[in-house]
Amino acid sequence: MVLRLDVKEESPKKALENPGGNEYMRGLGGADAGLPFFAFLNAAGKKIADSKALPGGQNIGDPASPEELRAFEQLLRRAAPRMAAEDIATVIAHFRKAAPPQQQ
């Protein structure tokens, strides 16, 4: 299941935020991560991993550079060990295709 929270909106879009979303993101360790921030949870809601997977604990955000794509692929393998290799490749291909030309 994928859950998307709208957080850190500026005026006049502040009303679009999910109530409690900023606090929930902070509880997952993403307060200083920037956006997008990904957190992978188990069935009990416990965090398995998050997108602060670059050197120094930096957030991957929308993976675009080769380094970010490699880190996100490793993150998927760690957070979803039963995810099929083909499905991981599909996710990575999506991000690669969406990356700005200078990042590819």
pLDDT of residue 102: 74
29 found inside a domain: no
The verdict on residue 16 lying in a domain is no
Structural domain of 41: 37-103
Residue 18 lies in a domain: no
Could you tell me if residue 51 is inside a domain?
yes
* Band of pLDDT at residue 1, cut at 50, 70 and 90: low
Average pLDDT for the chain: 93
Q: Which of 88, 83, 86 is nearest to 72 (CA)?
A: 88
The verdict on residue 1 lying in a domain is no
pLDDT tens across 39-90, in order? 999 989 999 999 999 999 999 999 999 999 999 999 999 999 999 999 999 9
Hey, what's the torsion of the CAs at 86, 90, 96, 99, to 10 degrees? Answer: -160
User: Is the residue at 80 inside a domain?
Assistant: yes
Is position 2 within any domain?
no
The domain total for the chain is 1
In the chain, DSSP assigns E strands to 39-41, 47-50
